[in-house]
């Protein structure tokens, strides 16, 4: 019922190689290595990425030509497949010119050599490990960061690790190319959520578009009755509508939702953070209060939209969404010491794709801590493993990634128009809360499905951020 956006596919540049001096010495070696390279291309092509294959290189000149091809392609990740020994001069230009992170693969043909039958030529097909330390040393001296995965061609553990790096490269690309809307003004007094937009561009890339509430108000005024009616009908299909919902408020939320879609399209936004205080029910206050329905629908489409001007959390939600984890706007609500769980969630925008059941629209006569009234989204996240992910900020302005893994478990929930989940972190909820708060997290974060620390470790590496994992 909700059409997700189609993000740009992660572009992976591939170059395979070996030392050309071997080919006349061992005629059967090159065809075997080229077959291995084709198998790597096949496996990469199944990983929801676009593969730019620069071919097989045998000397430094061919390496330089491959480097130029991959530079022009604008890759998000460069993979160098070490099929056998090759000199570092053959891959150095590839790593230096692309401007993309580098992953080196050492995947030998099978788990083990047949020592009884192998001659030198057969052994060389298993010799991809030999140049790996050379590459590492040379790349460090050249100032090139790199990662590596060692295994064999059909080693699923190795391919799981490779998949993580490709996903992480996609997240990095989403941030570097992203356009992030910041609409309205800071929630007064929330010092933890204040973020300098220039630091986002400096550390993560991308662009922060500063918007005003009038940018949305004007679009709201242009929404037709027919468009509003259609959005109400869509919402009735997506949500269970509680009897507390007032028709007038429902229609207003639907109208703002249509306008939000236009705002996102007009400014080509990949995420949106907003807040507007307003006064005495005037138009701007009503526009700010009408966000929740439309922001939740946007988030479900893959365009995170959050309240309280939480730019960093909208970025954390974008990270989790691009990892396939969803990512819903979340804060602490209460601790349940009897059941050993932490209750967390938020009023306002939610990621509908990770709801345990059909989400509920509830009518609220007042929003706690905010002006206005209207409809709000209520649900519990799917039961099972989950990961919290937040973007922290140190005193010097440096961003950090902060994460913790837990499990959403069933039990009693509040019915106040909030997303609420009971998360078991496998320890005393008070001890976890103290450790989480001491990590440098702000009071909002993204909650996504699955245990994602391994993937976030790769994301942090490619972004150049420190990752703090809370495991009390």
The answer to whether the CB of 281 falls within 8 A of the CB of 287 is: no
- In CATH, the architecture of 178-469 is Alpha-Beta Barrel (3.20)
Q: Which residues of the chain have pLDDT under 70?
A: none
What would you report as the CA-atom Rg of the chain, rounded to the nearest whole angstrom? 25
- Report the predicted TM-score, pTM, of the whole model to 2 decimal places: 0.95
Quote the CA–CA distance of 19 and 373 in Å, as a whole number.
70
Cα distances (Å, whole numbers) of residue 199 to 203, 212, 274, 316, 399: 6, 21, 18, 15, 9
196 Cβ partners below 8 Å, 6+ apart? 397
* pLDDT of the residue at 417: 86
* pLDDT of the residue at 10: 97
* pLDDT of the residue at 367: 81
Quote the CA–CA distance of 357 and 349 in Å, as a whole number.
16
Q: Which residue in this structure is represented by tokens 């008070």?
A: 430
* pLDDT of the residue at 349: 80
- Domain limits of the chain? 10-175, 178-469
* pLDDT of the residue at 176: 96
The CATH topology of domain 10-175 is Rossmann fold (3.40.50)
Supply angle C-alpha 392, 435, 309, rounded to 5.
Answer: 30
Helix, strand, or coil here: 64?
helix
């Amino acid at each position: 019922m909700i059409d997700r956006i189609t993000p740009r596919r992660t572009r992976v540049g591939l170059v395979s190689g070996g030392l050309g001096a071997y080919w006349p010495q061992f005629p059967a070696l090159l065809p075997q290595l080229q077959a291995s390279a084709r198998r790597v291309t096949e496996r990469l092509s199944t990983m929801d990425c676009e593969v730019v294959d620069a071919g097989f290189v045998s000397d430094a000149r061919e390496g330089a030509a491959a480097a130029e091809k991959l530079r022009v392609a604008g890759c998000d990740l460069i993979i160098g497949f070490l099929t056998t020994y090759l000199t570092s001069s053959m891959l150095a230009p590839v790593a230096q010119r692309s401007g993309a992170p580098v992953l080196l693969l050492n995947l030998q043909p099978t788990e083990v050599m047949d020592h009884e039958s192998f001659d030198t030529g057969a052994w060389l097909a298993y010799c991809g490990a030999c140049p790996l330390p050379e590459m590492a040393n040379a790349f460090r001296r050249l100032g090139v960061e790199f990662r590596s995965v060692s295994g064999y061609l059909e080693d699923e553990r190795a391919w799981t690790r490779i998949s993580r790096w490709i996903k992480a490269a996609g997240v990095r690309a989403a941030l570097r190319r992203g356009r992030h809307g910041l609409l309205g003004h800071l929630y007064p007094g929330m010092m933890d959520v204040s973020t300098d937009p220039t630091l986002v561009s400096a550390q993560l890339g991308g662009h922060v578009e500063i918007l005003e509430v009038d940018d949305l108000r004007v679009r709201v005024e242009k929404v037709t009755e027919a468009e509003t009616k259609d959005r109400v009908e869509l919402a009735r299909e997506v949500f269970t509508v509680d009897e507390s919902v007032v028709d007038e408020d429902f229609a207003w939320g639907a109208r703002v939702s249509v306008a939000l879609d236009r705002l996102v399209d007009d400014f080509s936004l990949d995420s949106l953070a907003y807040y507007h205080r307003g006064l005495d029910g005037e138009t701007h206050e009503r526009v700010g209060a009408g966000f929740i329905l439309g922001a939740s629908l946007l988030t479900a489409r893959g365009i995170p939209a959050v309240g309280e001007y939480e730019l960093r959390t909208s970025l954390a939600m974008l990270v989790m969404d691009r990892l396939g984890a969803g990512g819903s706007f979340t804060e602490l609500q209460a601790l349940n010491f009897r059941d050993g769980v932490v209750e967390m969630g938020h009023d306002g925008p939610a990621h509908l794709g990770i709801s345990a059941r059909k989400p509920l629209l509830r009518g609220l006569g007042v929003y706690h801590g905010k002006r206005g009234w209207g409809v709000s989204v209520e649900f519990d996240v799917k039961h099972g493993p989950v990961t919290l992910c937040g973007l922290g900020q140190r005193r010097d302005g440096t961003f950090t990634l902060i994460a913790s893994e837990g499990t959403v478990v069933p039990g009693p929930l509040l019915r106040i128009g909030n997303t609420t989940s009971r998360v078991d972190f496998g320890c005393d909820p008070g001890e976890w809360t103290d450790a989480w708060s001491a990590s440098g997290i702000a009071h909002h974060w993204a909650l996504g499905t699955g245990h994602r620390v391994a993937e976030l470790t790769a994301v942090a590496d490619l972004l150049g951020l420190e990752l703090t994992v809370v495991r009390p």
